[in-house]
């Protein structure tokens, strides 16, 4: 589920009234947030709300507070065995990720995390990395809206995921809520680089994310034609172009994203 998900909707952990609404929003995955969305004096209460929701049999990823914070150990003790996966902010240390003992989504959002991206993605338990564009932009002193400023970091994360055999990464949030053009531009840029999912902060972002991250009819038709051209063999020709193993793998990946591969 995590590897193929397109939308990851954040929900503040101290707002249990929003948990059912998020679960019914149509998002592929909901992320119950114990970190940025929760003030320090609400951390313990939020943790209990999340623990109770998971104990009732609901599925969710949980973004915990990062290693080195006062809440990290308690967060893991409360929810690591119940959550679908643990999202770890400021992910930089592969050893810390491996010690969790549960499926992990490292949120890579620091300069050190980006420079260690291959090691972080290779850590045991990592399913798929996510990109924390806002925190990284803040550290670098650049505009988090700028595609140019964060192009290298995004590409580094895509390469790291591919090099370690992890699912393609999840792009960071788009903070603009009332301008779908900005969201669509962010999606187009991320998808062009190799991202196949996105972190969302409002249910209205889910529809555009799903549309952008789902292969188009033309892409599906191409992929089906490619596979049909090779039959039981390993080489074929489709639309006048040679089809070999890399092309076959791309076609299979496209169909897998539709649930048909």
**Residues comprising the binding site for Mg(2+)?**
109, 135
The answer to whether residues 158 and 193 touch, using CB atoms and an 8 Å cutoff, is yes
**Residues in the annotated binding site for substrate:** 63, 109
What is the number of other CB atoms lying within 10 angstroms of the CB of residue 242?
10
Structure tokens at 97: 């990720």
Per-residue exposure over 52-91, b if at least 16 CB sit within 10 Å of its own CB, e if not: ebbeeebebbbbbbbbebebbebbbebbbebbbbbbbbbb
Q: Which of 213, 169, 159 is nearest to 195 (CA)?
A: 169
What is the number of other CB atoms lying within 10 angstroms of the CB of residue 121?
27
Per-residue exposure over 4-24, b if at least 16 CB sit within 10 Å of its own CB, e if not: bbbbbbbbbbbbbebbeebbe
The length of the chain is 261
CA distances from 168 to 52, 67, 97, 129, 232 (A): 31, 24, 18, 8, 28
**Residues in the annotated binding site:** 63, 109, 135
């Amino acid at each position: 589920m995590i590897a193929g998900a397109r939308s990851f909707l954040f929900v503040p952990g101290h707002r249990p009234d929003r948990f059912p609404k998020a679960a019914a929003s149509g998002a592929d995955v909901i992320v119950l947030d114990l970190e940025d969305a929760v003030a320090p004096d609400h951390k313990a209460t939020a943790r209990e709300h999340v623990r109770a929701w998971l104990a009732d049999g609901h599925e969710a990823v949980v973004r915990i507070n990062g290693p080195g914070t006062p809440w990290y150990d308690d967060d893991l003790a409360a929810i690591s065995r119940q959550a679908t996966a643990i999202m770890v902010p400021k992910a930089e240390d592969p050893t810390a990720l491996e010690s969790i003992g549960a499926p992990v989504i490292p949120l890579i959002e620091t300069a050190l995390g980006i420079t260690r991206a291959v090691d972080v993605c290779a850590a045991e338990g990592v399913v798929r990395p996510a990109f924390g564009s806002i925190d990284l932009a803040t550290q670098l002193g650049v505009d988090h809206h700028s595609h140019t400023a964060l192009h290298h970091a995004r590409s580094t994360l895509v390469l790291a995921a591919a090099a370690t055999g992890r699912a393609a990464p999840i792009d960071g949030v788009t903070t603009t809520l009332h301008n779908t053009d900005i969201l669509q531009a962010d999606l187009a840029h991320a998808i062009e680089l190799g991202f196949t999912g996105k972190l969302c902060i409002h249910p209205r972002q889910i529809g555009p994310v799903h549309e952008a991250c789902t292969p188009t009819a033309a892409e599906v038709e191409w992929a089906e034609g490619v596979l049909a051209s090779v039959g039981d063999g390993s080489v074929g020709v489709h639309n006048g172009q040679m089809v070999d193993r890399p092309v076959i793998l791309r076609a299979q990946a496209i169909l897998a994203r539709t649930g048909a591969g």
